[in-house]
Amino acid sequence: MSEGFGNNDQVEVRRVAITGIGVIAPGEPGRDAFWSLITSGGSAVRRISQFDPSSFRSQIAGECNIEDDGIVIQEFGDGEDLSAVDRSIRLAVAATDEALGDAFDSGYETCSTSDRIGISYGSAVGASQRMVELYDHFTDGGKYWRCPLGDKNEALFEGLLPSTLGACLADRYHVNGPVAIVSAGCTSGLDAVGQGAAMIQRGESHIVIAGGTDAPLLPITVASFDAIKATSPSNKKPEEASRPFDAKRNGFVLAEGAATLVLEDLEHARARGAHVYAEITGFARTTNGYHMTGLDNEGAELADAISKALLKAGIKPEQIDYVNAHGSSTQQNDVHETEALKKALGEHSRHVPISSIKSSIGHSLGAVGAIEIIACVLAIAENLVPPTINYEIPDERCDLDYVPNTARRAVINGALSTASGFGGFQSAIVIENPKRRDEII
Amino acid sequence: MRNGRTFITQIAIATSQGTSTEEVWDAVVKGRTTFSTLEDCEGRQILFGDLDTERMAVGLTERIKIQTDPITQAALALSDQLLSGDNSEVLDHRDEIGVQLGNNYGGLSFAQRELTNLSENGPGAVSPYQSFAWFYSVNTGQISVRHKLKGPSGTVATEACSGIDALSLANYEILSGTDFMITGAIDGTRSPFGIASMYSGTSTLAPETAAEGFAPYSAESIGYVPGAGGALLMLQSERMTPPAQRDIELIGAARGFQSGQSGNVLRDVVERLFTESGVTPFDIGVVYSDAVGVPGVDTRERETLVKIFGDKQPPTTAPKTGFGRLFAGASAVDVALAALTLRNQWIPPLAIRLGGQDPDEHLNLVYGEGRPIQKDTALVLSTGTGGYRSAALLRLNG
């Protein structure tokens, strides 16, 4: 059995509410802009502007329209200078400011002193931007292999630590409970939310700031994915490059972003009169033990994660009304995932709407799992399934309902989100409408 | 189904003192100091607890070596040690074995090499393995792929607390029904860029300072010596652990965060752990302290110990004074050594170079030749840069 929670063992467990959401996804910042983009069939993929991509195979990305010095809302912080931290941290701060503002019209300060607040935040390549900047500075652009051990430069120490993300968030939001930076390749964001929910489930925290962030749009990252032809070379039409489940898909589109969910003990949330968007009811993770980057066509381990997440939620496949797929737009993944959904959901896999919002926003590594959970939350709130855009030519190996190109109205009480990452990591999470959950419980 | 208790059944350690558990234990019992000297581009010398990764990688194929950082190669070698011999039977359950590790620097040597490749030769020269060889979960992924493990897996990055926090997360998996979890951390990098990073921390020794500068709890101490290394441990559920392998029990682990305005979170973490596990301060037979070596930091840790134990201080040791502070690997090694302390009934001392007399009147530091343990429970403490605080409790079952 995987890490997670549920009441399948008949032990009374704490329910995990989502009471606030914040998104900095490619395109315009904020959750409203994000939702509008992915439900309108738009794309935020464009030619990379953060450096000159001319010499790279893949020259496109999902970029956030947000300036570094404009993203920090000084509502919770003490006016601290975040200009020297990794862009991934600044994106996370912006998403978290929005999420906490959403969850607490006022009163966060009271909670932060009276309750145990934790952080569970995911990142696949965390401090990569600072790593490159500091490398350039201390090796003079790579001239020196040995670096000078000059005066102590705390930036060179903390700048390389992935844990600096957690420390920055904890300081800014006066966190006193457990803080964890979760890293599991491209399942980091989903895993961080799942593990954050487990922190509430276990009673470690009353409130958890959970999410994911990554800002990998750097020459070294683009070059490394070029080398294995994992990313799309469709540079002439960037907005059409990410095409999950389409027969002409030719790789994922790299992106940046961050998303934060405020997770809260349901009783705690209801006691303070908070709006509860949804509940997280099941989470599971496995590994495929197969290959660091490759996937087989069977999807057995992802199917296993999905089945365990459903088991922990205590619901049947038929109670899933929407699947937000990993849908990375690589040949391998989309076949692998289709098979996994068939195995785990059975006949229901042929009836449930499945979509990949990476078609609109690309793949932001350790962030996108959290972004996709928010897509599920909003899908439940709005009873609207965001589409898979750029879906034109069916692939006979991918033969499910991928909600092509146009959003679809549907009653959504239960949603499933999946993730798959380098290293063989496979994860699944179940999000449900709290009203239905009340009926089930 | 929930499993009742968690046991540590296998241990594999590698530090500058050795590349096997036996070598490391022998060295820490003797209080050896094993620091090497490295030079920067200007000829300035620093001390480093250097792990012999080349020796550890001897059993790996070239196909694996070309795609991995030296520290990942060491992690794979440790995993081989953990799953070899009598313990290879657990691989019959490989579909249920998870890997929950801690990490900090990832594969930074690999990354520096590829950054240089990119700088000198352009994008086409970058290794295809760069896409995963440097990221923080590389050790976790490579171990699961090498041994075809399919259980719940991931990585936690909380600086020096990563080792205990990984143990804590792995324990939750066991309590939730997983029967086998590989946990721990191995960290540190010998890349020049990484060395420069390590030596940029305010708590590291200044260049050209002798090892005597790393003398935790003494007035002369000015910082720590960084190093590379770590430990992997096999956690097993009660139901899958034969009685003969139940000698070391993981009672629990806890974590917190010391943000600016809160009180003494490390103390809160330890006291919560005591309360939840029914352990009292009187039960503790040894403390593996964090022993950073910076007077202000040591003072805060001393205050924590005094608050918890009062005038009945248990023996407190810090063998890391002999092999250095290993970042994510630090608390994993401390947990592993604490387990060996219980199993072997002997508390290894702080590095023998620090002398035989306890200079700290408040604590009960183990100097000199070590001593037998008198009680069957061990406490391990860790503090991580930024505010991370963690603790673990282990017990010997008679």
DSSP of A21-41: EEEE-SBSSSHHHHHHHHHTT
| CB distance A264 to A200 below 8 Å | yes
Give pLDDT tens digits for B37-88.
998 878 889 999 999 999 999 999 999 999 999 999 999 999 999 999 877 8
Average per-residue pLDDT for chain A = 92
Give pLDDT tens digits for A10-31.
445 899 999 999 999 999 999 9
- A125-134, A305-314, B55-64, B363-372 — which is least confidently predicted? A125-134
Determine the residue type at A87: R
pLDDT, greater one: B270 or A74: B270
Give pLDDT tens digits for A303-336.
999 999 999 999 999 999 999 999 999 999 999 9
In the predicted model, is pLDDT for residue A6 greater than 50? no
**Angstrom distances, CA of residue B224 to CA of A166, A377, B13, B199, B351:** 24, 47, 20, 10, 13
Measured between beta carbons, the chain A residues lying within 8 angstroms of B38 are: none
Res B342: pLDDT: 98
Q: Which CATH number applies to B6-244: 3.30.70.2170, 3.40.47.10, 3.40.50.2300, 1.50.10.20?
A: 3.40.47.10
**Angstrom distances, CA of residue A4 to CA of A163, A197, A405, A438:** 23, 8, 34, 20
| CB distance B302 to B333 below 8 Å | no
Residue from A413, A242, A217 nearest A315 by CA? A413
Q: Which tokens hold the place of B272?
A: 């919560």
Token pair 């995990």 is found at A16
Chain A CB within 8 Å of residue B199 CB: yes
Determine the residue type at A152: K
C-alpha distance from B345 to closest chain A C-alpha (Å): 33
Res B3: pLDDT: 62
- A320-324, B164-168, B199-203, B319-323 — which is least confidently predicted? B199-203
- A273-277, A394-398, B186-190 — which is least confidently predicted? B186-190
For residues A61 and A64, what is the distance between their CA atoms, to the nearest angstrom? 10
- A171-180, A297-306, B82-91 — which is least confidently predicted? B82-91
Residues in chain B: 398
Give pLDDT tens digits for A225-282.
999 999 999 999 999 999 999 999 999 999 999 999 999 999 999 999 999 999 999 9
Q: Which tokens hold the place of B396?
A: 């010997």
Cα-to-chain-centroid distance, residue A144 = 37
Of A64, A168, A186, A376, the catalytic one is A186
In the predicted model, is pLDDT for residue A2 greater than 50? no
Closest residue in B to A425 (Cα–Cα) = B153
Domains B6-244 and B246-396 equal at CATH topology level: yes
| CB distance B322 to B383 below 8 Å | no
Average per-residue pLDDT for chain B = 94
| Percentages of chain A per state (helix, strand, coil), in multiples of 5 | 35, 20, 45
Give pLDDT tens digits for B267-317.
999 999 999 999 999 999 999 999 999 989 999 999 999 999 999 999 999
pLDDT, greater one: A81 or B65: B65
For residues B14 and B27, what is the distance between their CA atoms, to the nearest angstrom? 11
What is the domain partition of chain B in residue ranges? Answer: 6-244, 246-396
In the predicted model, is pLDDT for residue A74 greater than 60? no
Q: Of A147, A156, A168, A195, which to mutate for an interface test with B (greatest number of B Cβ within 10 Å)?
A: A147
pLDDT, greater one: B199 or A242: A242
Q: Of B137, B169, B176, which is closest to A423 when you measure between CB atoms? A: B137
Closest residue in B to A228 (Cα–Cα) = B128
Q: Which tokens hold the place of A105?
A: 């019209």
In the predicted model, is pLDDT for residue A75 greater than 60? no
| CB distance B183 to B190 below 8 Å | no
Res A262: pLDDT: 98
In the predicted model, is pLDDT for residue B35 greater than 60? yes
Neighbours of A336 (CB within 10 A): 27
Res A154: pLDDT: 76
Neighbours of B61 (CB within 10 A): 8
In the predicted model, is pLDDT for residue A207 greater than 80? yes
| CB distance B176 to A205 below 8 Å | no
Measured between beta carbons, the chain A residues lying within 8 angstroms of B124 are: 223, 227
Neighbours of A78 (CB within 10 A): 9
Res A390: pLDDT: 98
Of A64, A363, A376, A398, the catalytic one is A363
- A68-82, A265-279, A401-415, B166-180 — which is least confidently predicted? A68-82
For residues B104 and B72, what is the distance between their CA atoms, to the nearest angstrom? 12
Domains of chain A: 16-127+162-432 (3.40.47.10)
Q: Of A1, A130, A158, which to mutate for an interface test with B (greatest number of B Cβ within 10 Å)?
A: A1
For residues B271 and B269, what is the distance between their CA atoms, to the nearest angstrom? 6
Q: What are phi and psi of B62, to 5 degrees?
A: -65, -35
- ipTM associated with this complex: 0.97
pLDDT, greater one: B279 or A154: B279
Per-residue confidence band for B367, with pLDDT thresholds at 50, 70 and 90: very high
Measured between beta carbons, the chain A residues lying within 8 angstroms of B157 are: 126, 161-163, 166, 181-183
The residue-averaged pLDDT of B9-25 equals 98
Is the CATH code 3.40.50.280 the one for domain B246-396?
Answer: no
- A60-74, A126-140, B125-139, B248-262 — which is least confidently predicted? A60-74
Res A149: pLDDT: 75
CA contacts within 13 A on the Cβ side of A399: 4
Tell me, yes or no, if A326 is annotated catalytic. yes
The residue-averaged pLDDT of A177-200 equals 97
